[in-house]
């Protein structure tokens, strides 16, 4: 099955710093989503981005589907950005769209 790997596994930043999280996947995908899992376990949708570039405030994401990777950029990080970031991909077609999650990047932002 498809492999989804994220890097780095852990990231420690001081408030105000910028960071780039990477997601590599081993096969063609129909969907790619980025999530932020907060300390209470809630998965928060950040981006639905099977290809191209999107921006939402301090966050932006780029997916290069032909090269099988996606990047999540966090600028001017805040303590509330702490948590685990997951990318998840879907390889199914007509009758399934289950998400396969990556290994996650744990981000800690200190004041």
Partner 1 sequence: DTGVSQDPRHKITKRGQNVTFRCDPISEHNRLYWYRQTLGQGPEFLTYFQNEAQLEKSRLLSDRFSAERPKGSFSTLEIQRTEQGDSAMYLCASSLVSFPRRPSYEQYFGPGTRLTVT
Residues that bind partner 1 (CB under 8 A): 30-31, 33, 35, 40-43, 45, 48, 50, 86, 88, 90, 92-104
For partner 1, which is the closer residue by CB, 14 or 94? Answer: 94
Q: Indicate the helix (H) or strand (E) that contains 90.
A: strand 83-90
For partner 1, which is the closer residue by CB, 48 or 110? Answer: 48
Q: Report the distance separating Cα 70 and Cα 17, nearest Å.
A: 20
Closest alpha carbon to 1 in 104, 105, 96: 96
CB 55 → partner 1: shortest distance, Å?
A: 17
For partner 1, which is the closer residue by CB, 47 or 109? Answer: 47
For the chain, the straight-line distance linking the first and the last C-alpha, in angstroms and rounded, comes to 41
CB 104 → partner 1: shortest distance, Å?
A: 6
Q: Report the distance separating Cα 100 and Cα 60, nearest Å.
A: 21
CB 24 → partner 1: shortest distance, Å?
A: 14
For partner 1, which is the closer residue by CB, 72 or 88? Answer: 88
Two structure tokens written together for 8: 């780095």
CB 95 → partner 1: shortest distance, Å?
A: 6
To the nearest 10°, report the CA torsion of 20, 25, 29, 35: -40
């Amino acid at each position: 099955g498809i492999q989804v790997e994220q890097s780095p596994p852990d990231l420690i930043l001081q408030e105000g710093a910028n960071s780039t999280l990477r997601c590599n996947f081993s096969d063609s995908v129909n969907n790619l989503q980025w999530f932020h899992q907060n300390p209470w376990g809630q998965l928060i949708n950040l981006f639905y981005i099977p290809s191209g570039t999107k921006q939402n405030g301090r966050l932006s994401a780029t997916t290069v589907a032909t090269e099988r990777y996606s990047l999540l950029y966090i600028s001017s990080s805040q303590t509330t950005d702490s948590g685990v970031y997951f990318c998840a991909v879907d390889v199914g077609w007509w009758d399934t769209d289950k998400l396969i999650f990556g290994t996650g990047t744990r981000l800690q932002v200190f004041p």
